[in-house]
Structure 1
Amino acid sequence: MNEVQQKLLRQLPDVDHLLQRPRLLKWQEKTSRKAVRDAVRAVLDRRRQAILDGQATAPFSADAFDQAVIACLQHEKTGHLRRVINATGTILHTNLGRSVFSPELARHIADVSCHYSNLEYDLPSGKRGLRYDHVRSLICDLTGAEDALVVNNNAAAVLLTLASLTAGREVVISRGELVEIGGSFRIPEVIEQSGSTICEVGTTNKTHLRDYEKVIGEKTAALMKVHTSNYRIIGFTETVSPAALAELAHTYDLPCIHDLGSGLFVDLERFGLPHEPTVREALEAGCDVVTFSGDKLLGGPQAGIIAGKAAYLQTMKHHPLLRALRVDKMTMACLEGTLQAYRNDTARRHIPTLRCLAQTKEEGRQRAVQLLLKLEAAQLPADLELIEVDDCIGGGACPDVSLPGWAVTVKVEDRPPEKLAEQLRFTEVPIIARIVHDRVVLSQRTIGDDEFDDLVRMLGRVLNS
């Protein structure tokens, strides 16, 4: 340690002295003495280490120290999990929380969360009720199912279904449908954890109905189909339809289980997109149990929904695993509000995911022009340009579908796009963008109307700093 470093270290005041500074005393009134003391110690430790590393050479500044402590306190107050602006154009961005909710739905969730609720209380009878009854009839009305159940995600829905109906026996499934569902979890692993045995049939690209039939025996508990919603095999392929598989299962008095992955209540062809099977279609094809996600194409909360024949659902409702997989009141409130929007035929207006999916190219252009005008009005020191882009659905849904859209690009002289994108992530309201051809791209599709002003303000802070 040299003489300069020793001098700088001696300049550092003690914690109690710093806690008496006026600005920090005000923060002790806002938070607590402990919170401010912890922040002071953290900033002192950083300053001390910077001196030892030779990175700090300026004399100690009390005002600068105050500001660093306040910044630390503000960061702690904000929390680690926070709101971001999704400017990537990926609607169901798994890393960014997938579906977002409308303000009306958020108010309903807040109202239920901030007060006691009738989660498991039947108001008419004054006796204990079932939490699943809040959404059961809605799901049945929308899908045509006899009964329905909700757990915490679709993997849990598959796990509970198999643990209840096939444990200790064989599940027959096509080799081409043994998919990885995200986070390195795979359908074969979920089946094995249910206590069931996998019986693979067919090949990766071709499976015929006779492949299923020739393996059915005394150990067979169910025939299972998995919709490969997160990838596509094209070319020399063949799969068995849900209707054909269900008919075969019923011939041998077996249940047909269909994991749809991304559940749908509306036909995407209404929005000019390729057809994806809906839950109602799967049930009308004869499938006995259909499982799907609540937070993908449905546009609701993270949940796994099970719909199908009442006899099979009753077995699941009495399985001890259900207790470990059940959802809380916030999920139930959010799912109920989402389902009500579908029942009332207001889903396109009130479910942001559907609104993004249904956006036409001209609607996208109008919104991009609106964003560009706001950015230009702020007189930012940057080159702005309106461009056409390809957005995507994301969330492991419709992987081969591109959504023609519009975006505003930002280029700053002497500032690499990677650096600008990084700086945008560290603003008060972080902006997550993509980079195309050395320009930062802000896709309007996934930016809410109420976020345009925040985006302009955050970008202005970064560019003018």
Structure 2
Amino acid sequence: MDSKILLRKLPSVNDLLNLDKIEFWNQNHDLVEIKSAITQVLNETRRSILTNEFQNDIDIPYFENAIEKILRDNRVSELQPVVNATGVILHTNLGRAKLAIEAQESLALMSGHSTNLEYDITQGKRGDRYKVIGKLIHELTGAEDAIVVNNNAAAVMLVLSTLFNGKEVIISRGQLVEIGGSFRVPDIITSTGGVLKEIGTTNKTHIKDYEEAINEDTGGILLVHTSNYKLIGFTETPNSNELAKIAHKNDLPLVNDLGSGLMIDLNSYGLSEPTIKQEVENCDLVMFSGDKLLGGPQAGIIAGKKKYIDKLKHNQLLRALRVDKATLAALVATLKLYRDPKKAIKKIPVLRDLTISKAELQYKADTLKDRIDSDTNFSAEVINGTTVVGGGAFPDVKLPTLLIDLKSNISATKLNELLAYAKYPIIARISHENVLLDIRTIDESEFEKVISALNEIKN
């Protein structure tokens, strides 16, 4: 059909505001949103007509479907809670760590009120926003002092720009890693003014490599946690205790980017990684994330010797990287839970998901399966599976888990999409044309949301 004829057939915004479905859409969207969606559909339709790409009939069903799709896409594009049914405990795309109830409550309380963020009530004058963090980190790890910035990448950049600007940074080739978002350690070193001094090989770096690399231009030694992968087999690398002796013998700082940052020993659960406290004993500064194994909000914590922390505090870059009262409130509440390690494992969702027993997994899986079978038109089967920790933590660990295999005549791709578009989105995984819900990362309080989403789909 001629494009001029098609353009003349286009309804106006007001015409479409009189569609029968407006009342239905208005239950979840205000009229401003609906009008915006209508305008977008009309503009896109007009463009496709003018470019001879339009292949539909200009009728009510076409406009209803197009408007509804935009409204649905807009709704799921907004920041909102979702159910993590992937099994990946620290899922970066899903916001990493879920906060403990105590952290949530503290965040909400401090966000709604004025606080003593930088006011010392005992002295009646300006205070230090990092003081409470410094005291807590000292109590938990033995570090002399600590500060917090907005993420661990920022922590690394602040340390490098403060201590190693214009100086050589000694680092093993096996630790020149790239993490998410193309964050490359070599590029970060040079971009902050440091001079990269690579030593050793990818799989082997010896003590003598570090000793021979030290000269009058050396700024210090940098250790970097190899997030997201692990070298196995014919490998060797000195530990922080050995490197501390070399660094301090030459009056150089030893700086360690721990990545995830583990506060309590999880060896009894088959999860082996040095704790923050163990690394603080050897290193002058350690950096780690707040929203990974620590189980707190997004933050980068720098802990260690006071003389180096004081230098960081005088770097003008710190003001651009500092965190607000909400982040500090959630972080402080999380750290306080670590005063009792057993309590921390029960209260902090990341630790709870990491250490859950087989019996607890089975109980959760059986409970959700029974609910699906009895309260929805779907059926389910509990099957064995494995999952990963995520967030670069424990990259070589496969955690045993239980999966809810949803049985339906809907294709796996379509069912997965419908779950994601539910009023409370369920983010599942697909394997061999099956939609699976990993029970390890679904809290019992979220079961009702899963049931509701499945009933939405059938209705």
TM-score (norm 2): 0.91
RMSD of aligned C-alpha atoms?
A: 2.9
Partner Cα separation in structure 2 for residue 297 and residue 249 of structure 1: 28
- The 1:112–1:23 alpha-carbon spacing in structure 2 relative to 1, beyond 3 Å, is farther
Give the 3 Å change call, closer, same or farther, for CA 422–244 of structure 1 in structure 2: same
Q: Counterpart amino acid of 1:337?
A: A
Pick the aligned partner of 1:350 from 342, 347, 356.
347
Please give the alpha-carbon distance, in whole angstroms, between the structure 2 residues aligned to 1:58 and 1:12. Answer: 7
Q: Is the alpha carbon distance of 1:428 and 1:27 closer, same or farther for their aligned partners in structure 2, counting shifts above 3 Å?
A: closer
* Match in the other structure for 1:437: 432
- Decide which of 378, 391, 403 is 1:395's aligned counterpart: 391
Q: 1-side partners of 2:212 and 2:386: how far apart?
A: 45
* Cα distance change of structure 1 residues 417 and 247 upon mapping to structure 2, 3 Å threshold: same
| Contact residue 290 and residue 331 of structure 2 kept, 8 A | yes
- Structure 1 Cα separation of the partners of residues 418 and 27 of structure 2: 32
1:277 aligns with 2:284: no
Q: Does 1:407 align with 2:436?
A: no
Pick aligned residue for 1:38 from 25, 36, 39: 36
Give CA deviations for 1:331-366 in whole Å, capped at 9, x if unaligned: 111111111111244211221001000101121111
The answer as to 2:116 corresponding to 1:118 is yes
Partner of 1:200: 198
Residue 445 of structure 1, CA deviation: 0.8
| Separation of aligned partners in 2, 1:30 and 1:379 | 23
Partner SS, residue 295 of structure 1? coil
1:60 aligns with 2:60: yes
Per-residue deviation at 1:47? 6.3
Specify the alignment match of 2:85 in structure 1. 87
Deviation at 1:67, TM superposition (A): 9.3
Counterpart check, 1:258 vs 2:256: yes
Q: Output the amino acid matched with 1:376.
A: D
Quick one: which of 189, 192, 203 aligns to 1:191? 189
In structure 2, distance between residues paired with 1:97 and 1:57: 42
Whether contact under 8 Å (1:265, 1:279) holds in the other structure is yes
User: Counterparts of 2:415 and 2:15 in 1: how far apart (Å)?
Assistant: 39
Pair 1:374-2:378 in alignment: no
Q: Distance in 2 between matches of 1:122 and 1:277?
A: 36
C-alpha deviation, 1:274, in angstroms? 2.9
Deviation (angstroms), 1:434 = 1.3
Aligned-pair identity in percent equals 47
Residue deviations 1:399-450 (CA, integer Å, cap 9, x gap): 110111111101323x331222122222222211112232111001111222
What's the counterpart of residue 427 of structure 1? 422
Distance 1:385 1:144, change over 3 A: same
CA contact (8 A) 2:152 2:301 kept: yes
SS of equivalent residue, structure 1 residue 367 = helix
Matched, 1:152 2:146: no
Describe the shift of the 1:426–1:247 C-alpha distance in structure 2 as closer, same or farther (beyond 3 A). same
Separation (CA, whole Å) in 2 of partners of 1:258 and 1:448: 34
Q: Which is worse superposed, 65-74 or 289-298?
A: 65-74
Deviations 1:11-59 (A, max 9, x none): 6543345557898699999987655532332344466678886654474
Describe the shift of the 1:120–1:38 C-alpha distance in structure 2 as closer, same or farther (beyond 3 A).
same
Distance 1:187 1:128 in 2: 37
**8 Å contact kept, 1:50–1:56:** no
Listed as ranges, the matches of 1:288-303 within 5 Å are: 288-303=284-299
Asked if 2 retains the 8 angstrom alpha-carbon contact of 1:409 and 1:441, the reply is yes
Report the residue type matching 2:306 in the other structure. A
Which one of 135, 138, 153 corresponds to residue 137 of structure 1?
A: 135
Select the residue among 337, 359, 363 that pairs with 1:362. 359
* Deviation for aligned residue 1:180: 1.2
The residue type paired with residue 457 of structure 1 is: S
**Residues 283-322 of structure 1 mapped to structure 2, 5 A cutoff:** 283-284=280-281, 286-322=282-318
Quickly say closer, same or farther: Cα 1:347–1:53, change in 2 above 3 A: same
Query: Secondary structure of the equivalent of 1:343?
Result: coil
For 2:370 and 2:48, the matched residues in 1 are separated by: 44
Higher mean Cα deviation, 114-123 or 188-197? Answer: 114-123
Between the aligned partners of 2:142 and 2:339, the Cα distance in structure 1 is 12
What is the distance in 2 between the residues matched to 1:281 and 1:29?
A: 55
Q: CA deviation at 1:108?
A: 1.8
5+ residue gaps, structure 1: none
SS at match of 1:353: helix
AA in 2 matched with 1:309: K
Contact conserved, 2:76 with 2:421, CA < 8 A, in 1?
no
For 1:417 and 1:25, the matched residues in 2 are separated by 32
Q: Is 1:336 matched with 2:332? A: yes
Q: CA deviation at 1:460?
A: 2.3
Alignment length (residue pairs): 456
Q: 1:213 aligns with which of 211, 214, 232?
A: 211
Structure 1 residue aligned with 2:240: 242
Deviates more, 1:238-247 or 1:426-435: 426-435
Structure 1 distance, partners of 2:377, 2:25, is 34
Give the deviation of 1:168 after TM superposition: 0.6
Q: How far off is 1:379 after superposition?
A: 3.8
Per-residue deviation, 1:60: 2.9
Could you tell me how far 1:80 is from its partner in structure 2?
1.8
